[in-house]
Amino acid sequence: MSSTFPSVIRMDRRLAPTAALHVEVIADLVCPFCYLGKRRLDHAMEAVQGPSDVNWVPYQLNPDMPENGLPLDEYLLTRFGNPAYIEPALEQLTNEGRLEDINFRFDRVSQVPNTLRAHRLMYLAESEGVDQTALAEELMKAFFERGEDIGNKEILIELGGRHGIAARDAEKIIDDEAAKQIVLSREAQVRSSGIAGVPGYLLNRRLLVIGAQDTDALVNAFDRAMFGEGNDSIVSPALH
């Protein structure tokens, strides 16, 4: 994969109603930039007048996280050394979140979960035709705004239930080994393609956008992906 990503050219026109858009969102559910990116994606999708769909691809920021997660203080110490180093970044994220109607409450977060169970629930949503984007919103809001442990089985069952996922199905999938291997396989494909950070958006299997881009940038990227403008698009065969 090329080490440079396509630039996004600003265009004033809206997307043609006959164009189709397929978005694959590469994200982790405890990534604050993924939450910001998700909200910006929501706004960008409002500009798409033709057929469109969004699917979510699993990615773990912390693939070596213990199964039961880590206390926040221990996690920050392990990853960043002095937790004080991260405070300015958290403050900046909080300010950016307000612009997207996100109420980041890092003070409520006590446990950083292993997200494999949550990704398995997202996989079940995909399998059952449940709106993955709505479920992702539910999971991120629970973690970042209410401080809930989205690695906890009971919490995941409750959150899934709000979107029509039966408790017995959620309970089964959350600890299902086959589902775990599917999630890990999909993540491994993403990593093998060269993607090392999230969020990422693969548009129509031809244009890859990395980072929590603003809404205008995403709209213009949609335009390029649908109309084939430019010759520097990126295809990730690992996601086919």
Residue 159: the pLDDT is 98
Residue 9: the pLDDT is 28
Residue 221: the pLDDT is 95
- Our CA dihedral for 166, 172, 176, 178, rounded to 10 degrees, sits at -60
pTM for this model (two decimals): 0.87
Dist. CA 192–CA 37, nearest whole Å: 23
Distance (Å) of CA 98 to CA 39, 93, 220: 11, 9, 24
Tell me whether strands 111-112 and 200-203 are parallel, antiparallel or unpaired. Answer: unpaired
Q: Is cis: bond before 199, omega within 30 of 0?
A: yes
Residue 78: the pLDDT is 86
Dist. CA 227–CA 124, nearest whole Å: 33
Strand pairing partners for 56? 25
Dist. CA 52–CA 35, nearest whole Å: 21
DSSP class of residue 106?
G
pLDDT tens column, 96-133: 999 999 999 999 999 999 999 999 999 999 999 999 99
Residue 238: the pLDDT is 36
C-alpha 53, offset from chain centre: 15
pLDDT in tens, the chain (240 residues): 333 333 332 333 445 555 789 999 999 999 999 999 999 999 999 999 889 999 999 999 999 999 999 999 899 888 888 777 888 999 999 999 999 999 999 999 999 999 999 999 999 999 999 999 999 999 999 999 999 999 999 999 999 999 999 999 999 999 999 999 999 999 999 999 999 889 999 999 989 999 999 999 999 999 999 887 543 444 333 333
**What backbone phi and psi angles, to 5 degrees, belong to 111?**
-135, 130
Identify the structural domains of the chain with CATH numbers, from first to last.
21-239 (3.40.30.10)
Other CB atoms within 10 Å distance of the CB of residue 84? 9
Residue 26: the pLDDT is 98
Residue 228: the pLDDT is 76
